[in-house]
Amino acid sequence: MVRLFGASVLLVLATPAFAQEQEVEDWSGPYISVSAAGDSQQVTTSSTDSVNQVTNLIVPGRGLVVVPGTSVATSGSDTETGFSGGAAFGWLGQSGGFVYGVELGGNFGQSSSGTSSTASLPVTVLTPVSTVVATRTVKKDYDWSARLRLGFATGKALLYASGGVAGTRAQLTAIDTYTDPGGPAAPCTAPCTVANFGPYGPAVATSTARNSFIGWTAGAGIDYRLAGSFSIGIDYRHSNFGAKTLALGAATPVNSGATITDGSGNHPPANTGAVPGSTRVDLRDERLAFTLSFHF
């Protein structure tokens, strides 16, 4: 797609002299358009998540053991492709073969992107090595753009470059899964007994957040005039919606798997597990759209 953008820009820059030698179509005035597009959504996430490890159990020869909480750093990136539809309203002015204008548009139906990160927690007095799997899913509700268009008309074709402001409204879903596989815990010296309480979990905590992003967009395209007031076109653009840290709602781990009980009937606290922390989201998009426009 980047190569297409570069080639389109070169065509736009190379067109003026050629355009002067041909009768050009009149593109001036307002227009509306609809589009169908292929999207490549790219997302990068990072966070620091808190973890309440298995604690408050009695180990023979050692008594009640309290394991302090800790934290894990998570990060990941993902690219997903999908389809979207959109609509736009614009206005074009024209001087000879030189065409300029503005366009406001919106798109709906983008695919979601998800990242996954696995962290290992070191062995404790109560557990062997345990794991935290942090997944983040980002789904755009919609996106919008306000673009300037500059180009040259030649015959029935209009070649142009575009750029401007782009924004989106996106939802982040964060899921942390904590699992203790069971097995011997950290070794200790007699009369202490090496703990082996068996598996715990998975304990899952889920939280969501929704926020707006605003960044920039740039691209290039070509429109071709059909009979009457209609035109068809191909429009490529790259949009960088920027990065933002999203504060997630409160979450409590829910153990959907095995539980632990010591010899005295004690259980780990109900909040044992990992909790998603505030997550930084970097969101970008590549789009190739096919357009149908009506010119007033």
- What is the pLDDT at residue 22? 60
- What is the pLDDT at residue 110? 66
My answer on whether omega of the bond before 202 falls inside 30° of 0, hence cis, is yes
Q: Is the pLDDT of residue 85 over 90?
A: yes
Which CATH architecture describes the domain 2-295? Answer: Beta Barrel (2.40)
154-183 confidence digits (pLDDT tens): 999 999 999 999 999 999 999 999 999 999
- What is the pLDDT at residue 10? 44
Question: Which of 162, 289, 156 has its CA nearest to residue 229?
Answer: 156
202-249 confidence digits (pLDDT tens): 999 999 999 999 999 999 999 999 988 999 999 999 999 999 999 999
Q: What is the pTM of this model?
A: 0.86
| Residues above pLDDT 70, as percent of the chain | 92
Q: How far apart are CA 228 and CA 222, in angstroms?
A: 18
Mean pLDDT, range 129-143, rounded to an integer: 95
72 in Cβ contact with 120 (< 8 Å): no
27 in Cβ contact with 153 (< 8 Å): yes
pLDDT bucket at 45, cuts 50 / 70 / 90: very high
Q: What is the mean pLDDT of the chain?
A: 92
C-alpha dist (Å) from residue 126 to 66, 198, 265: 9, 10, 15
Q: How far apart are CA 278 and CA 183, in angstroms?
A: 32
Q: Is the pLDDT of residue 2 over 50?
A: no
Q: What is the chain's length?
A: 296
- Per domain, the residue ranges of the chain are 2-295
Residue holding tokens 């191909």? 234
